Amino acid sequence: MNRVYIKTYGCQMNERDSEAVAAMLRARGYAIVSHEDEADVVLLNTCSVRDQAEQKAIGKAGQMIKLKRKRPHLLVGIMGCMAQNRGRELLDRLPDLDLLVGTQKFHHVPDHLENIVSAIQAHGPRPSTIVDLEEEAGSQNTIRPHLEGAEDEKKVSAFVSIMQGCNMQCAYCIVPTTRGEERCRPIAAIVEEVVELAARGAKEITLLGQIVNSYGRREVPFVGKISPFVQLLEAVHAVDGVERIRFTSPHPRGFKEDLIEAFGRLPKLGSYVHLPLQSGSDSILKAMNRPYTQEAFRRIVASLRQVVPGLYLSTDIIVGFPGETDEDFEATRAFFEEMAFDQGFIFKYSVRPGTTAAPLGDPIAKEIKEARNQVLLDLLEKQSLRRHTALIGQVEMVLVEAPARRGEGLYMGRTAGYRKVLFPGRERLIGALVPVKITEASASHMMGQLEVSE
């Protein structure tokens, strides 16, 4: 009963939470396996941000529960955002579920599993579903133990959660419901984790939070004009061994001068920023309850480009929000082109029951959403190909992450602008920053050759 398969849906925060659960289970003697067929326990770490994500996880859970007919000892659990969002309602559809664990309760998973297993071993009746969904004060401080038992995993690029929850009220978004009130970890605890990760070979640290630039607003005082988030960046920047620092996601509202200026003096921040725009139309931004305008976004990006020449910019866009007219979408399209985003995540609006936009329904036809989505994807492809092509012949410093998935002796690394580069390399280069001359470009990545110093 000790082989666990964890399947993760959704964002990097979820990936990070799954890593933490895996590490806690390993520390208790469980083996983490990479396929459900080999598992005694299947845990789905779920996402609620769009309906499709929920449907996928529900479908998978249904399949796993059916498997119990053939493998009666199989345990199936749902964790994370959908567990939090749909709660006991899930049990109506999936009564044979063993475990339902919310977003503030990941650290209890090992105890819950142990309880179920010992009940089964005592030959008692199958215990009813364990449901653990309440809020838990201080849960943000339980998100560290992913380091325990993970000696075998030496990652070049590591994620660190700096906070949980979200206090904004974007009209479309379920996250404040699934992840609760904003809660921050202390700077010292985060730095300690980064030091340990660096000691294990991590070279790139990605700081994770729903809205990272509101980090510590209530707990940590400003130092002069320096916000708590920038203080945190400074502290992480000072850690030896860390070569690059990224963060996701900031909100345009709190993207102030101190953060822009930090890019000028903290070289490990590189030249990449992910800044969710959501829409380029002021009236849709207002309807979304996103408290900024197109012009405010333009100003932030202009200041950033002054400090970081050659900035690589990424964004999130939602198409088909209720009331989005052709003119609104045209404003988004034109602005998307003007900003010349290098990377983008384009989403079709999905109604989330319980959000403030839910009463507006879903009036934009599927075909229109699909068409708008495609327009932006085409534009993105063009923009990113243009940017990559311009680099042909140039030498970029590449942080080597891993062998490329396609094999062929190729290795994958990323530039300071977070662009993917494949090049013929060697195992020992993993974790090193190496000069690579760009030889070919496509929209998704570039190819290159190691530049050997004479």
14 binds ligand 5AD (CB under 6 A): no
* Min dist. Cβ of residue 45 to ligand SF4 (A): 8
Nearer to ligand 5AD, 179 or 185 (CB): 179
Cα–Cα distance, 106 to 84 (Å, whole number): 11
Residues 46-85 interacting with ligand 5AD (rule: CB under 6 A): 49-50
Nearer to ligand 5AD, 320 or 448 (CB): 320
Tell which one of 349, 411, 418, 423 touches ligand 5AD (CB under 6 A): 349
Task: Scan for tokens 């690029």, then name that residue.
Answer: 157
Cα–Cα distance, 93 to 89 (Å, whole number): 7
Query: Strand pairing of 395-403 and 433-441?
Result: antiparallel
Residues 142-171 interacting with ligand 5AD (rule: CB under 6 A): none
Which is nearest to 300 in space by CA: 252, 248, 228, 251? 252
Q: Site mask, ligand 5AD, residues 259-298, x = CB under 6 A?
A: -----------------x-x--------------------
Tell which one of 347, 385, 420, 439 touches ligand 5AD (CB under 6 A): 347
Q: Quickly count: other Cβ atoms within 10 Å of residue 353's Cβ.
A: 10
For residue 182, which phi and psi values (nearest 5 degrees)?
-65, 130
Q: Site mask, ligand 5AD, residues 168-187, x = CB under 6 A?
A: ----xx--------------
Nearer to ligand SF4, 105 or 203 (CB): 105
352 binds ligand 5AD (CB under 6 A): yes
Provide the binding-site residues for ligand SF4, judged by CB under 6 A.
Answer: 10-11, 13-14, 47-49, 81, 174-175, 178-179
1 interface partner picked from ligand 5AD, ligand SF4, none, CB below 5 to 8 A per type: none
316 binds ligand 5AD (CB under 6 A): yes
15 binds ligand 5AD (CB under 6 A): no
316 interface partner picked from ligand 5AD, ligand SF4, none, CB below 5 to 8 A per type: ligand 5AD
10 interface partner picked from ligand SF4, ligand 5AD, none, CB below 5 to 8 A per type: ligand SF4
- Which residue minimizes CB distance to ligand SF4? 10
Alpha carbons within 13 A on the beta-carbon side of 413: 31
Nearer to ligand SF4, 52 or 118 (CB): 52
Q: Which residues sit at the interface with ligand 5AD, rule CB under 6 A?
A: 49-50, 172-173, 276, 278, 316, 318, 347, 349-350, 352
